Amino acid sequence: MPHDLARLLDDLVSAATHDEVPSADRLLAVLGTGDDELLDVVAAAARVRRRRFGRRVKLAYLVNLKSGLCPEDCTYCSQRLGSSAEILRYTWLQAPEALDAARAGIDAGASRVCLVASGRGPTERDVTRVCGVVARITAEHPGVEVCACLGLLSAGQAERLRDAGAHAYNHNLNASEDAYPDICTTHDYADRVATVRRVQDAGLSACSGLIAGAGESPEQVVDVLLALRTLDPDSVPVNFLVPFDGTPLAGRSDLTPQHCLRILAAARFALPRAELRLAAGREIHLRTLQPLALHVASSLFLGDYLTAEGQDAADDLAMIADAGLEVEEVTPPTGARTAHVVPRRRGAGTEVAPNA
C-alpha cells in the first residue's frame, strides 16, 4: 500500500478509535481513492466496524403504513408530489395488516421494525393511529425495536410515540445544507434538523441518514456526513438513489459499486459509533459488492423497501452468512437481482405475501 494511503487510513482508524471527528479533507481523500486502493479502504473501515459491532448484523424491516400521495416534492422520491412512478398508492393500513407485515419481518430475523408513512408530517390522529400499532408490536414482540418515520414532527408528538413504546424515530437529513434547495422546495434542511433534535430531546433514539447518487458532489457527501456527526444519531441509513421512472431523477446512475463502498467507508470513519445501515438501492448500485459493504456497515433493511422490491430476504440472510457475519437475533429466523427498478407489488397494502 502506498505510504500516503497507509498513513491516511491509520489516521482515520485512530481518530475513530478515539472518537475524534475526522477532518473534511481526510474524508474527501477517502472518496477520492482509486479502485486499486479500494480493498485497503474497506479493510480500514472494517476495523472500525469490528471494534464496535463485531460480526453482528442488525436486520431492520420496513412496513410502509401509507404509500405515495405525498404533498412534498423531494426529487429522489417515488412518493413525491406529481410522481407518476408506478408504485403502490394507499392510505393508512389497518392495524391488523400492519401487524401482519411487522410479524413477517420479525419472523425472518428482524430485530427492528420501521413503521413509515409518506407525508410532510403526522396529524395528532395519525400519531394516535401509529401509537396503537407500536404498542401492539412491542407487547407481542418484547425486545424488538420499533422505529417510526412519519415526517416532520410537531411539539409533543415524539413524546407520544415514546410513551407508546417506540424506541426510535427516523428522519434523514438526506443531503447537505447547500444541496437541499435543489432536492426539495416544500420544506428545508432546518426543518429536518429540528425534527431530529426534537426526537433526541424526547429521549428517543435518533435515526438519520443520507441518500447518495442524487447528483451531489464529494464535498456535499462529506458535508452531510459531518452534519450527521454533529447531530450524533444512533443509526444512519445510507440510501442509494432508486431512479424511478416518473420522478425527476429517473434513470440517473452516477454511482459505481466501488464508489458506494468509498461513501460507506467515509461514513464509517465519520460516524464510528453509529449503526450504519445499508438501505434502498443497495442491490442496484452495490450489486455483487454488497457482501463487502457488510464489512463496513453493521445493519441492513431486510427484503423490500418502501416502494421498490429488494432482493429476496432469504438471499439477504445467505449473503450475511457467506460473509462470515451473524444476524443479531431477537427471534431466531424461521427461514434462511437486479439492475433495474422493480416497483413493490407484495407485502403491506397488497394481497400478496411479503418478501420476508
Binding mask 102-141 for ligand SF4 (x = CB under 6 A): ----------------x-----------------------
Cβ closer to ligand SF4: 77 or 261? 77
Selected catalytic residue, list 131, 147, 149, 260: 147
DSSP one-letter string for 38-107: HHHHHHHHHHHHHHHHTTEEEEEEEEEEEBS--SS--TT-TTSTT-------B-PPPHHHHHHHHHHHHH
151 contacts ligand SF4 (rule: CB under 6 A): yes
Strands 299-301 and 56-66: parallel
Look at residue 278 and give its three-state secondary structure: strand
Q: For residue 302, give the C-alpha cell.
A: 431486510
260 catalytically annotated: no
77 catalytically annotated: yes
149 contacts ligand SF4 (rule: CB under 6 A): no
Choose which of 74, 93, 196, 270 interacts with ligand SF4 (CB under 6 A). Answer: 74
74 catalytically annotated: yes
153 contacts ligand SF4 (rule: CB under 6 A): no
For the CB of residue 152, give the shortest distance to ligand SF4 in the complex, in Å.
8
184 catalytically annotated: no
283 contacts ligand SF4 (rule: CB under 6 A): no
Distance CA 306, CA 116 (A): 8
- Alpha-carbon separation of residue 112 from 83, 196, 247, 296 (angstroms): 29, 19, 30, 20
Tell the burial category of 67 from Cβ atoms under 10 Å away from its Cβ (0-12, 13-18, 19+). buried
167 contacts ligand SF4 (rule: CB under 6 A): no
147 catalytically annotated: yes
Q: Which residues are catalytic?
A: 70, 74, 77, 114, 147, 207, 277
List of residues contacting ligand SF4 (CB under 6 A): 70, 72, 74, 77, 79-80, 118, 151
